[in-house]
Amino acid sequence: MTGDLHCHSLCSDGSLSVADILAYAQRIGLDYVAITDHDTLAGVERARVIGQALGVGVIPGVEISCRDDQRDRPVHMLCYFPRDPVTLQAFLDRTLRSRAATKRQMIAKIMARYPVTLEHIERYSSQSQSIYESHIMQALADLGYTNVAIGPLMEELISSRGSCYVPNRYPDVREVARLIRQVGGIAVMAHPGQFDSADLLEELAAAKMVRGVEYNHPRNDAATRARIGAIAERYRLIATGGSDFHGPYAKVPHPLGSFTCSGPAIAGLIALSR
């Protein structure tokens, strides 16, 4: 039994529909998939229905954008199996609205430099619950200013160091962890290697605010895996895995199923959900 428990669809900043992700999951032999779009559960129910028809198990999930205010750095938290998705989504909607507002401010700056239009960008964001970097950059790629959406021009314009960047405010990770517990979900820290979050992981694990950690992920190098593996063993965390699939909307592409979650970890999540 194997699964890819970190996938993004058109509902946030991925390139494929939920239906396409499930169809390809079946084609490559995955037993389980989790659609974990950024700050939205919009694709989860559709994924469940399609997965049932295709014989692919679907684990409901979402990737929540937050910050470690004590260390002043970003962090992402995965929530699996929320029992009260309505309360969770009401909280996440604030992030979706603020993200869209800051992205429109960034778009205004870009439109002063390039002949791109908001309507063009919104062709790509129309199926998403917010506006993302990939939508902006794909429109610029259409106009020939770059040939890759996630590349040097994006870094120059709208990365955190970019000339058109506008910062957004995200909730503190501890508030998010408490919310996940409140809605009956399973809190799993996403890719600690991306934001150097191993210290935070140990702090949250000691406080019993997380139940798992994303171990098998493309942004966790060998040293990070060794450290978070030791933390997982010490605090009996479930070590999950996923490709963080976005299609072409990633600095380094990773195909669906290229990083997976083991059968025992999947079974552990399912057991906790019950």
Do the domain assignments include residue 164?
A: no
DSSP codes joined into one string, 106-151: HHHHHHTTS---HHHHHHHHTTSSS--HHHHHHHHHHTTS-S-SSS
Contacts of 203 (CB under 8 A, 6+ apart): none
Could you tell me if 85 and 146 lie in one domain? no
139 with 196, same domain?
no
Model confidence at 239, pLDDT cuts 50, 70, 90, reads very high
The whole-number pLDDT of residue 140 equals 98
Share of the chain above pLDDT 70, in %: 100
Q: What is the CATH number of the domain that holds 11?
A: 3.20.20.140
Give 52-108 pLDDT, tens digit per residue. 999 999 999 999 999 999 999 999 999 999 999 999 999 999 999 999 999 999 999
Query: Which residues form the domain of 134?
Result: 96-158
Band of pLDDT at residue 229, cut at 50, 70 and 90 = very high
Decide if 80 is inside a domain: yes
How far is residue 195 CA from its own chain's centroid?
Answer: 14
Residues 199-227 have a mean pLDDT of: 97
If asked whether residues 148 and 267 sit together in one domain, one would say: no
**What's the confidence (pLDDT) of residue 9?**
98
Q: Please state the domain count of the chain.
A: 2
Residue 192 lies in a domain: yes
> Is 0.85 topped by the overall pTM?
yes
Whether 118 and 243 map to the same domain: the answer is: no
